[in-house]
Amino acid sequence: ETGVTQSPTHLIKTRGQQVTLRCSSQSGHNTVSWYQQALGQGPQFIFQYYREEENGRGNFPPRFSGLQFPNYSSELNVNALELDDSALYLCASSLDPLAATITGELFFGEGSRLTVL
């Protein structure tokens, strides 16, 4: 158990709909990173939030957006869902922004599995 919780664990949406995924970070961690993991692929970086601001973004379109709250929890929003958005969405918390890349100490939640029909 990493102390990182994500909700919902599974959900099914149809093309064009919008989805919000939630993540509570581990106690003491102020940084949250979101990754998308398609079936049979490694996780792909979506973006990172630090102190309620986006602090780096991967190659994802603007319809992927996020928020971080004062308690460091975070949301990932995806608008205009496409079939290719079907994936496991992983939230990972870390002590600070550089901890994720210097020490690799990313603590992942169990993920939200999104299916888009």
Partner 1 sequence: QKEVEQNSGPLSVPEGAIASLNCTYSDRVSQSFFWYRQYSGKSPELIMSIYSNGDKEDGRFTAQLNKASQYVSLLIRDSQPSDSATYLCAVNQAGTALIFGKGTTLSVSS
Q: Is 117 in the site for partner 1 (CB under 8 A)?
A: no
Q: Is 23 in the site for partner 1 (CB under 8 A)?
A: no
Q: And the tokens for 113?
A: 């599995």
Nearer to partner 1, 33 or 74 (CB): 33
User: Binding mask 58-77 vs partner 1 (x if CB under 8 A, - otherwise)?
Assistant: x-------------------
Beta bridge partners of 10: 113
Task: Tell me which residue of 33, 46, 36 sits closest to 4, measured CA to CA.
Answer: 33
Cα–Cα–Cα angle for 77, 46, 113, nearest 5°? Answer: 60
Q: Is 43 in the site for partner 1 (CB under 8 A)?
A: yes
Instruction: Return the range that interacts with partner 1 (CB under 8 A); candidates 19-27, 55-63, 69-77, 78-86.
Output: 55-63
Which residues bind to partner 1, rule: CB under 8 A? Answer: 2, 33, 35, 40-45, 48, 50, 55-56, 58, 90, 97-98, 100-106, 108-111
